[in-house]
């Protein structure tokens, strides 16, 4: 099954890194977040990727064109470094299509611009490329396929450390709790889509605005709740949190290590 990865945004909330590289290339440990996400999909057998490029897409192309397997795999070096024998490989069975979808295009327009690469597909997957999860993807896909809907995405609790509040009409706080523990749910990505989704997107529209509201009106949008791990990389604080988890080996999204 093909996987569309939206990786062309400006990443304005991660300026410490995205001024020089696109957000999907911000590292968690030795590898960028997009690698962790692709490795996750490949673990479930979905290794045909379509990358929707935009801001600094040249760096994403270069990363894969000069990909060094030795950075995250065991290897044997001999003959003074002239001979390298990899003990395992990350991406030898990946197929990656690189598509320039525009510098300032929104998600809906990026999806429209890769439509031709999805012809003949009964369904496909998609992701914002800035979040990771331990979602059992095989079961998620099976649940989607069992429903007569056009589109679905993962519903998750926010991972940020904000507090949700409720107030009375006079403005006095009546309830205060961490948003991660409240009954607020957000779109965590991890989309399952059928080709009919293109019938709901008009030129210039953002995917989760007008198109998704049309799907909602026809009861064609599904969003199951995931109680497990999910986190996104939106700010420098998020990157530091990911790095600390990686450093102590607490990486629930790395299902390929299970």
CATH of 2-154+189-257, one of 3.30.1280.10, 3.30.200.20, 3.40.1160.10, 3.90.550.10: 3.90.550.10
Instruction: Let me know: does 218 contact 228? Beta carbons within 8 Å.
Output: no
d(CA 7, CA 20): 15
Are 101 and 117 spatial neighbours (Cβ–Cβ below 8 Å)? no
Strand partners, 177: 164
Most distant CA pair in the chain, distance: 77
The more confidently predicted of residues 170 and 237 is 237
pLDDT(16) > 80: no
Total-model pTM: 0.88
Segment 62-75 shows an average pLDDT of 84
pLDDT of residue 14: 57
Give pLDDT, residue 161: 60
**What is the residue whose two structure tokens read 């911000």?**
26
Q: Are 99 and 52 in contact (CB under 8 A)?
A: yes
The pLDDT value recorded for residue 17 is 55
Mean per-residue pLDDT for 8-27?
71
* Token pair listed for 1: 């099954």
- For residues 7 and 60, the answer to whether their CB atoms sit within 8 Å is yes
Q: What is the CA radius of gyration of the chain?
A: 20
Residue-range domain boundaries for the chain = 2-154+189-257
Average pLDDT over residues 11-32: 75
Q: What is the pLDDT averaged over residues 199-227? A: 94
Cβ neighbours of residue 9 under 8 Å, at least 6 residues apart? 22, 23, 54, 55
DSSP 183: S
pLDDT of residue 225: 92
């Amino acid at each position: 099954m093909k996987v569309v990865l939206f990786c062309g945004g400006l990443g304005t909330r991660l300026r410490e890194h995205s001024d020089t590289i696109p957000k999907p290339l911000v590292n968690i440990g030795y590898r960028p977040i997009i690698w962790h996400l692709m490795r996750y999909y490949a673990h479930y057998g979905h290794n045909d990727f379509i990358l929707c490029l935009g801001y600094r897409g040249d760096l994403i192309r270069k990363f894969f064109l000069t990909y060094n397997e030795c950075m995250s795999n065991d290897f044997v070096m001999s003959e003074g470094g002239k001979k390298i024998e990899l003990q395992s490989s990350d991406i030898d069975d990946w197929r990656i299509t690189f598509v320039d979808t525009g510098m300032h295009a929104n998600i809906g327009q990026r999806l429209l611009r890769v439509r031709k690469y999805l012809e003949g597909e009964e369904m496909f997957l998609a992701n914002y490329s800035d979040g990771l999860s331990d979602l059992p993807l095989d079961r998620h896909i099976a649940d989607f396929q069992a429903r007569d809907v056009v589109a679905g995405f993962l519903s998750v609790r926010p991972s940020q450390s904000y507090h949700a509040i409720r107030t009375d009409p006079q403005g006095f706080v009546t309830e205060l709790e961490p948003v991660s523990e409240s009954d607020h749910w957000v779109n965590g990505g991890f989309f399952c889509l059928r080709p009919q989704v293109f019938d709901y997107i008009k030129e210039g529209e953002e995917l989760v605005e007008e198109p998704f509201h049309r799907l909602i009106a026809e009861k064609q949008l599904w969003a199951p709740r995931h109680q497990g791990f999910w986190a996104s990389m939106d700010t420098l604080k998020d990157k530091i949190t990911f790095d600390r988890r990686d450093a102590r080996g607490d990486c629930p999204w790395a299902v390929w290590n299970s």
